[in-house]
Each structure stands twice: as structure tokens, then as C-alpha cells.
Amino acid sequence: MPILNADLHCHSVVSDGTLTPEVLAERAAANGVELWALTDHDEVGGQHRAAAAAAGVGMKYLTGTEISVTFAGETVHIVGLGFDPDDQRLRDGLRATRGGRGSRAQEIADGLAQVGIPGAYEGALRYVGNPELISRTHFARFLVDAGVCKDTSEVFRRYLTEGKPGFVPHRWAALRDAVGWIVQAGGAAVIAHPARYKFTANEEYALFTEFKAHGGTGVEVVTGSHTAAEAVKYAGMAREFGLAASRGSDFHSPDESHTDLGKLPWLPGELTPVWELLAERIQ
């Protein structure tokens, strides 16, 4: 099979991206993407729009989402690809996963108010495209535009990560449930950006082992948040665990994302691209 420019990870205004599914589809096609997936956090509300927009620009499409999971006390992201976006169990699971975001956002704002930043809940809400999906990213955009920090990375570093005033511990979906929702809806589950988790080697091994045991299919090897060395490491993990490999930019915004749609290295050879296992699900 010829090398395919697949980009199977990005976000729209339906979660914490700044572009609509339609504008993302145009941008992906203009950047040479041949197979695309929109993977909004905990949400499939943009899937029909994205698929239609992809068809409109002559680009192949796989349905997508990125589910927030709590594993060994850390937040892990599981990308789902090629599922039925109208599947009721998947939709119910995603709605339950989104459920805690409103009260969590209030607590984030309370934490920020205590360090002299009032009105952050209302401020963040102004950046939200989907009222059910208020994320730390929306707080970060508010704090940048309010002049508190120079960019969103600085906001996360100073305010929104563990031990910082706007960090609120949260319990997301269970790994088994997230993988199960995706698989029973006909899709494939993929561990997103594995190098980004603060796991010990034992915890990481447990994540891959349990993910595989629950029916997981793949791992992101090439992503906008991996260095070349990290891609090599996770290519090895994919081989070791018998997982397919995925590739995705994790593009959120032209102003914030370092990696644009489709502009990332090819998958290393000898790995099975996850989309080859999803050939029948490609639209």
C-alpha cells in the first residue's frame, strides 16, 4: 500500500479547537491530508459535519473522538476511530464523561479567584463553542487574552497543572469503559500521545497491558506532541504489544498548535497503520 497522509487527531469548536469542522476539512485538504479524522474531546457532535465536509473536499474520512480516562491517578486520552457516531451506548458514555466538566470549571474558577483572578468561569465560557464541553483550554485562552500570561503553555504551567491554583483533580471514564464503548460501536481504540503521561515504567506497562486486554487496537506513534526519539520508543512498544500505529497532529488552532494538519513525519516502517485495519469504516 502506498504511503498515505493520514491525520487522525485534531479538535474543532465542538471541543477545544478554534476552527469549525468545515474550516478544518478545508485546511487538512489544502495541507495534503488524504485521510482525516476529527477527534473532539468526549464528544461526537461534529462527526456528521466533518464527514460531509471531508466528502466536499474529496478527502477520505474516519469518525473520531478522544475520550478522557483516569488510569493510575493520571488522565490518559484514548482516541476512538471508525465507530458508528450514532451508537447510543457510545453517546451515553461520552455524555457521562462530559458530565462533570461544568462543576469542575466552577472549581477551577474558584481556585483562580483565590490567587486574584476573578470572573474566570464567565471569562472561559465566552470561548466555549459547546456548552457541554468547557475545558482547561478555554480558561487558558481567557487568561492569555486577559493579559495574565503570554501564551496558553504559560497558563498551563503556572495555573492549570497539578499543584497549581486552578488545578482540580477529576475522575474521568474508566479505561475498560472507554475502550468498550468504542469497540462495541464498531471502531478501534488507540492510546493518544503516550509520551505525555507522567507514568513510571511499570505504570506505562500496565496501561499498555490493560488497554490490550480490554480490546484496544493501536497507539499513536507519530503525533504533534512526540519528539523523534519518542516516536522510536513507541514504535517499539507497538511492536512489543502487537498494536497498530496511528498518526495525528492533535491540531487545535492556527495560533497555538506547533504542528499543522498533515504536517508530520511518516510512520516508521514495519508497523501496521491502524487505518489498514479500518478499511471498511473509511468513508
Kindly provide the residue ranges of all beta strands, DSSP E only, lying in the chain, ordered along the sequence: 6-7, 35-36, 60-61, 64-71, 74-81, 188-191, 218-223, 244-248
Cα distances from 127 to residues 122, 145, 172, 271, in angstroms, run 9, 11, 23, 39
Which set of grid coordinates corresponds to residue 277? Answer: 485495519
Beta bridge partners of 67: 78
Q: Give the residue closest to ligand AMP by C-beta.
A: 135
Q: For ligand AMP, give the closer residue by CB, 82 or 224.
A: 224
- Residue 5's binding partner among ligand AMP, Mn ion, none (Cβ under 5 to 8 angstroms by kind) is none
Which set of grid coordinates corresponds to residue 15? Answer: 471541543
- Residue 63's binding partner among Mn ion, ligand AMP, none (Cβ under 5 to 8 angstroms by kind) is none
User: Mask 48-87, x = binds Mn ion (CB under 5 A)?
Assistant: ------------------x----------x----------
Q: Does 156 bind ligand AMP (CB under 6 A)?
A: yes
3-state secondary structure of 6: strand
- Residue 152's binding partner among ligand AMP, Mn ion, none (Cβ under 5 to 8 angstroms by kind) is ligand AMP
Q: For Mn ion, give the closer residue by CB, 7 or 250.
A: 250
Q: Does 226 bind Mn ion (CB under 5 A)?
A: no
Candidate residues 7, 16, 42, 220; the one interacting with Mn ion per rule CB under 5 A: 16
- Could you tell me where the DSSP H helices lie in 114-252? 120-125, 136-145, 152-155, 175-184, 201-213, 228-241
Cα distances from 156 to residues 64, 127, 144, 233, 268, in angstroms, run 26, 16, 11, 26, 31
- Phi and psi at 173, nearest 5°, equal -65, 160
- Residue 136's binding partner among ligand AMP, Mn ion, none (Cβ under 5 to 8 angstroms by kind) is ligand AMP
Alpha carbons 222 and 102: distance in angstroms, whole number: 32
Q: Does 250 bind Mn ion (CB under 5 A)?
A: yes
Q: Measuring CA to CA, which residue among 22, 16, 12, 29 is closest to residue 262?
A: 29
Q: Does 137 bind ligand AMP (CB under 6 A)?
A: yes
Q: For Mn ion, give the closer residue by CB, 31 or 239.
A: 31
Q: For ligand AMP, give the closer residue by CB, 60 or 170.
A: 170
Candidate residues 9, 41, 141, 226; the one interacting with ligand AMP per rule CB under 6 A: 41
Alpha carbons 120 and 56: distance in angstroms, whole number: 39
Q: Does 135 bind ligand AMP (CB under 6 A)?
A: yes
Candidate residues 126, 153, 209, 236; the one interacting with ligand AMP per rule CB under 6 A: 153
Judged by the rule CB under 5 A, the positions of this chain that interact with Mn ion are: 16, 66, 77, 192, 250
Residues at the interface with ligand AMP (CB under 6 A): 16, 41, 68, 135-137, 152-153, 156, 252
